[in-house]
Amino acid sequence: MPELPEVETTVRGLEPVLQGETITRVTLHRADLRRPFPEGLGQRLTGATVTGLGRRAKYGLIETNRGDTLIFHLGMSGRWRIDPEEIGKHDHMVLETGHHRLALNDPRRFGSVDLVPTAELAAWPAFAALGPEPLGPDFTAAHLARVFKGRVAPVKALLLDQRVVAGLGNIYVCEALYLARISPVREAGTISKAQLEKLVTAIREVLESAIAAGGSTIRDYARPDGELGYFAKEWRVYGREGEPCGCGGLVERRVDSGRSTFWCPKCQS
């Protein structure tokens, strides 16, 4: 599933071709993705000018001058394609401007598209309960100390809870915990303030490095320009079961609630 770095990379790839452009045509090639497209989507977007692009958690945002924001989620296999030579069977929504054609491609159709009044974004149900952005100023060791206090749940599970921090996914949590030398199964409430400081720094470092590399391509993900994400080449533990760690230990894998966790028991405590 595309995680925060992949969505951020997608938004940055769309910005040069959409910012300030007027949408001249909207074509839907089916009625739904994971759920139906918003009623009147084409009418509300046609003729609208894109005034800004952004991201919240794992959602991309396209704001228009009509007071609406298009919210897209890439699901398991979604991606945007800029100026494709042909529209394929998995290009389910196509936006056209005076200069470009953008196709939302989603073979598995686990993604979603919503259109919400911009003034109501914060109260939109999917956003209302989200925690702070991990690259924003509100994500601090003090914040983690508050939400972890007294908790016996594993730290990895809490970091994947979008109410604790928005947008973190399995790959990047594994990598950040390794960088901070914290065991993924450690009880969250037992982690010291000094370790939480290291964890916040590690999360930011991993995410920023992943964004710089264009995200991680595992199966379907590609950037809007068609380039793959190359952060997978920098993975320290994820997907590396049985390989040596720099500390002399071996990377192990465990499965919790259907998710694989990769870690080094020797140096993560």
Pick 141-263's CATH classification: 1.10.8.50, 1.10.3720.10, 2.40.160.20, 1.20.120.530. 1.10.8.50
CATH (residue range 4-128): 3.20.190.10
User: Looking at the annotation, which residues are catalytic?
Assistant: 2-3, 58, 259
- Return the minimum-mean-pLDDT range out of 24-38, 133-147, 153-167, 219-233: 219-233
Distance from the Cα of residue 79 to its chain's centroid: 12
List, as one string, the DSSP characters of 2-59.
--HHHHHHHHHHHHHHHTTPBEEEEEESSSBSSSBPPTTHHHHHTTPBEEEEEEETTE
pLDDT of residue 224: 65
Confidence tier at 218 by pLDDT (50, 70, 90): very low
Distance from C-alpha of 64 to C-alpha of 16, rounded to nearest angstrom: 15
Q: What is the pLDDT of residues 79-121, one digit of tens each?
A: 999 999 999 999 999 999 999 999 999 999 999 999 999 999 9
pTM: 0.90
Distance from C-alpha of 203 to C-alpha of 201, rounded to nearest angstrom: 6
Closest CA to 58 of 172, 179, 192, 195: 172
pLDDT of residue 75: 92
Domain ranges of the chain: 4-128, 141-263
Confidence tier at 234 by pLDDT (50, 70, 90): confident
pLDDT of residue 232: 64
Please compute the mean of the pLDDT values over residues 241-259 and round it to a whole number.
Answer: 92
pLDDT above 70 for 249:
yes
CB-neighbour burial class of residue 85 (10 A; exposed 0-12, middle 13-18, buried 19+): exposed
Confidence tier at 217 by pLDDT (50, 70, 90): very low
* Rounded percentage of the chain residues whose pLDDT exceeds 70: 93
pLDDT of residue 229: 45
Q: Are 225 and 17 within 8 A, CB to CB?
A: no
Q: Are 162 and 127 within 8 A, CB to CB?
A: no
Does residue 171 come out as left (phi exceeding 0), alpha (psi in the -120 to 50 range) or beta? alpha
Q: What is the pLDDT of residues 198-211, one digit of tens each?
A: 999 999 999 999 88
CA 267 → CA 177, 232, 256, distances in Å?
A: 11, 22, 21
Q: What is the pLDDT of residues 136-167, one digit of tens each?
A: 999 999 999 999 999 999 999 999 999 999 99
Please compute the mean of the pLDDT values over residues 18-22 and round it to a whole number.
Answer: 98
